Each structure stands twice: as C-alpha cells, then as structure tokens.
Structure 1
C-alpha cells in the first residue's frame, strides 16, 4: 500500500501518486422540472506544516462515488510564517509549533490558532453564503492542518457535516471548551492516527477523544498500527465512506435518475 509521506521538519513538499478511477453512468433524460437530487457539498482540506494546498489536490481522486458529483473542493495554502520548532525558518504554517515531536503536553500557540480559525471560518461562511447547507460542509486536515480542522469545527457557531482529523492534536487547552457552542457539539468528528507516528506522537492523538468527550462531542477514533506520519490510501477510502454516509440519501440510484432505454449506470467495483 502506498502512503502519502509528510516529512516533518526539514520540510519537503509532499508528492502524491494519484490513482485513476473511472465511473460509468447513464446520461439522464433532460427534464426542466426535475430538482437536483445530488445536493451540493463542500470539502475543505487543510495541509500540514511546510506543505501547500495544490500539492494535496490529488486526494480528491479517491472520492469517486456519485454522491460527490456536486462536491466543491478547496485546498488553500497556509501563509508563510516563522516556525519555532524549525529555528525560526519561514515556511507555510497555519500557526506556530514550538517543538517536534508534538506530544500531549506540548506547548500550544492558542493565539495563532484562533487567528487561523478566523480565516477558515471566513472560507466556510463564503461557501454557505453561496447556497451550500452547513450540514454538507466538511473540514479535513493532516497534522497541523488536522489540529486546525479540529479547532475550526469546534469553534464554528453552526453544525457542520463533519470534521476529519488525520495525525493531528488538540491545539488548545481545556479552558476553550466553554467557547464551544451547542450547535458545534453536534458536528461529528473522525480522528485517524498512526501508532508508529514519530512526528505527532500517537499519545497526542489518543488525547483527542477524551477531550471531546469532556466537551460532550462524539468522536470516532481509528488507529493504524504500522502507519507513521503519513496518510494511507486506506484512510482516504474510509474518509470517502464516512462523508458519503453523512450526505443526503443515496437511494437515488434506484429511483431518482431516468435513464434512456438503451443506457444504464454501470457501477465500478469501488462503488459497491
């Protein structure tokens, strides 16, 4: 299995090998009265320290199910900032990181996190203003981007579709719990972490669910025994399934598309 390796601090931009996946489907008969049963969704992906948004765009090639036909993706890049754990070197960074590896007790740049959260919230607000239902908005992120994903979901005033944290950590102290709204507590959280991670230690990931439980938030935690500080194909395939189950019903396959008599949708094995 290939993985997307995130090299922490001599920070190399990650490269991706995309897998070509094909889906065959029938062309629906034009019908001006038929509503759009495939609700619009928005997936925002936040990269890790030293990386860039465009370098992560191949991730969306894993999302081949028809439910993602109307999905809008966004891969923003972090601004360049000096980073303490890298001796003040300037690099793409959402907020400051003081030490590597990141552990449960590592110091936190709460002010920097809150500033980054404001920028993420502005992206979400813009998408919702354009017509996307908040419950069809999903935030996902790796490493530093995973920590920012968690903070952005918890501090957003509305219930979102979900937040997915990969190899991340809780970027603020428990005093922040009182700022989490009742609506934000309804947003489901998926947390994935490699047990062999030596950059963001597994203990930092393990501290996530108890923190969320203390705040009254549900979290699905998945541990990957042989995975280091990287994202695996297995994690991305599960993420596709996890988001898909939180989008509007997919029963349209049998009922909502009118095919030509000589045309029908042929499912890929990956859709089953």
Structure 2
C-alpha cells in the first residue's frame, strides 16, 4: 500500500492547469518531474505522486492483476488523489494533464481508462493498459477527444508492442484522439522525438 505522498512544484500560487507526472519503477517523483524543463508547462502546477519504495506494483504490468494487488488499486487511488488536489484549487478536468514513463505510463493509462473524461491530454512514454489481458469491463466514461500520445520501442524488454497497440485501440474506442509512435530499437528510454511530439500535440 502506498503512503499518500504527492510533491508539488511549478506554479503553486495561481495555477489554471495541472500536470500529474508519474514515475517509473525504481524512480521518484523528483526524477520524472525534472522532465518539465523540456515541456512548455512553466505556468502549470506540477504534481508528482510517489510510490512507496519507488515501485507502484511488484510484478510485470502484464502479470495477472491479482498478483499486483493491493498495490495497483492503491496506486490508482493515489493518482486520483493528485487529481483531487488539482480540482481543489479550481482546476477543471479539461485543464488536468498526465505524463508517465514505463511503469508510470502503464499506471497513467490504466487510471485514465478507469476514469475517462475530457482531460487536457496525456503522454505515456513506453506503457500499456494493465493486466494479463485488457479488462475493458473495468473501464468507464468517454474521453471526448482528449489527446493521448503513446510512444514505445520495438522491441521493448518490458512492454510488448502488441499491448501498446491494443491499448491504443481501446482508448480510441472510448473517444480519445490517440497518436501512437513505435520506434525501432529505441530502447527503454524517452527520446527527443517523443518530447517534440507531446509538445506539439498536447502541451501546445
């Protein structure tokens, strides 16, 4: 279970937009939040939920869901608390954005699919929907054109390309405008091209 720990940075005084940044396995909120310097988000409130022991759930994201509980449910709840923090400041869902890398990208997409709404947008760097299969019965709502970018390497040791493609299909069916980019042999990282893509598509 995760202790409620959400770091705030950026525009904490009078924000109109918020970016929730979700770190990967072994990372930290401050790690992922350092990406903000490469994004045009200087006027955003930055919110960085941090996983207890730096891991959102213990096993692979394509392991049976039960094997990642109760940590997965707790992680999804913590992302929800970050959304609530933004809303408590008067920031509407249409002005709430999400970004995640690796395990954090998987958590980002899973949270969004379970809580679909008209958000500002989302960037998922190397991730897909969580489970040994995609459990669409867990997903609710409509994205109403929310832009979502998903980038990944082919191959990627942790994230099968097929799950990325399946996730794109599900999110599109829920009304998201998804841009999926698969990079040959990119490795498990975030590329400059991905940064350029999200700056053009989402943080514009």
**TM-score above 0.5, yes or no:** yes
- Within the alignment, does 1:77 sit opposite 2:44 as a pair? no
What's the CA shift for 1:141? 0.5
RCO comparison, higher one (Cα < 8 Å, 6+): 1
Could you say which residue in structure 2 is the equivalent of 1:180? 140
Question: Following the alignment from structure 2 to structure 1, what is the Cα–Cα distance between the partners of residues 73 and 49?
Answer: 17
Residue 40 of structure 1 is aligned with which of 4, 16, 19? 16
Residue 87 of structure 2 is aligned with which of 108, 118, 128? 128
Question: Following the alignment from structure 2 to structure 1, what is the Cα–Cα distance between the partners of residues 46 and 196?
Answer: 17
RMSD in angstroms over aligned alpha carbons? 2.5
- Please give the residue correspondences for 1:172-211 in structure 2 after superposition, counting only pairs within 5 Å: 172=131, 173-177=133-137, 179-182=139-142, 184=143, 186-211=145-170
Deviations 1:31-59 (A, max 9, x none): xxxxxxx9721111111111111122321
Seen in structure 2, the aligned counterparts of structure 1 residues 148 and 174 have a Cα distance that, compared at 3 Å, is same
Deviations 1:124-171 (A, max 9, x none): 111111011211111110111001101111222642111221111210
Question: Following the alignment from structure 2 to structure 1, what is the Cα–Cα distance between the partners of residues 183 and 107?
Answer: 21
What's the CA shift for 1:122? 1.0
Could you say which residue in structure 2 is the equivalent of 1:162? 121
Question: Following the alignment from structure 1 to structure 2, what is the Cα–Cα distance between the partners of residues 231 and 214?
Answer: 26
Question: Following the alignment from structure 2 to structure 1, what is the Cα–Cα distance between the partners of residues 75 and 35?
Answer: 23
Instruction: Say if 2:113 and 2:171, in contact at 8 Å, map to a contact too.
Output: no
Instruction: Say if 1:153 and 1:187, in contact at 8 Å, map to a contact too.
Output: no
Question: Following the alignment from structure 2 to structure 1, what is the Cα–Cα distance between the partners of residues 167 and 86?
Answer: 28
Question: Following the alignment from structure 1 to structure 2, what is the Cα–Cα distance between the partners of residues 186 and 115?
Answer: 28
What's the CA shift for 1:115? 2.4
Could you say which residue in structure 1 is the equivalent of 2:74? 115
Question: Following the alignment from structure 1 to structure 2, what is the Cα–Cα distance between the partners of residues 188 and 205?
Answer: 16
- Secondary structure in 1 aligned to 2:196? helix
The gaps in structure 1 that reach 5 residues or longer are 1-37, 81-91, 246-272
Instruction: Say if 2:22 and 2:101, in contact at 8 Å, map to a contact too.
Output: yes
The gaps in structure 2 that reach 5 residues or longer are 1-13
- Please give the residue correspondences for 1:77-96 in structure 2 after superposition, counting only pairs within 5 Å: 77-80=50-53, 92-96=54-58
